[in-house]
Amino acid sequence: MDEILGQRVVGLRPLPGGCVGEVYQAQLANGQQVVVKVDTRPRPQLHLEGYMLTYLTQHSHLPVPQVYQATPERLVMAFLPGDSRFDPTTERDAAAHLAALHQITAPRFGLEQDTLIGGLPQPNPWTDSWLDFFRDHRLLYMAWQAVAAGRLPTPIFARLEKLAGQLDRWLSEPDRPALIHGDVWTTNVLAERGRVTGFIDPAIYYAHSEIELAFITLFGTFGRDFFAAYREHHPILPGFWETRRHLYNLYPLLVHVHLFGGGYVAPVDQTLCQFGY
């Protein structure tokens, strides 16, 4: 990596990366600092991450890194300061940002093109019904991909399929689709001195905003201060904590089953049992 954006690279250090490619902080000869992702696999798709970050820049005020270059093999972005340690002030700031993001709407659920989550394909066909979208393009799609990868047992898939056919027992259509980041877990948020400096590695689409909140509870990205602040902008309707978040978190759990298998199958099994399947 001798040159980036027409500038000689004078310093390079690895950064913690996600599921896709290698990540570096690069110092350029003109003094600029950038982040570079490189994917050398047979079918690289870093341009999709670039597309999602650019979409957020163009359609929202969510703080995300500016994209300078996006090809399947290489993504060059602005370097954002900060780390993933959050105090109460940071959590309140994150809540304000995500509440504002969730105000952005579209006529239907989905997105103008398919994207990725954790490097896995994420289909986003425009769909009138949230329940249909969540059933077909989130739960059943990812579950079947996990079965095909040999990581989700077919008997569990069969139980999930039965639950997916009866989602209307617990879920209802939201008032409108909401734009979500889609992958708000700890290392995908950067913060410094009580404010969020950037949300990275998105998996965007228009959804029910509750699926974003559920994901935040699954891995403990934020806690009580976040949710108290979020409720100042949007109500969290009864039944979310007790019921709906567990259904919505089946999707990220299935993503993890597909990626890693093993210990993530048990929480899927437990959730199915919780709902009587």
Active site residues: 183
DSSP of the chain: --EETTEEEEEEEEE---SSSEEEEEEETTS-EEEEEE--SSS--HHHHHHHHHHHHHH-----PPEEEE-SSEEEEE----BS---HHHHHHHHHHHHHHTT---SSBB-SS-EEETTEEE----BS-HHHHIIIIIIIHHHHHHHHTT-S-HHHHHHHHHHHTTGGGT----SS-EEE-S---GGGEEEETTEEEEE-S---EEE-HHHHHHHHHHTTSS-HHHHHHHHHHS---TTIIIIIHHHHTHHHHHHHHHHH-GGGHHHHHHHHHHTT-
Instruction: Give the span between the Cα atoms of 115 and 1, in whole angstroms.
Output: 27
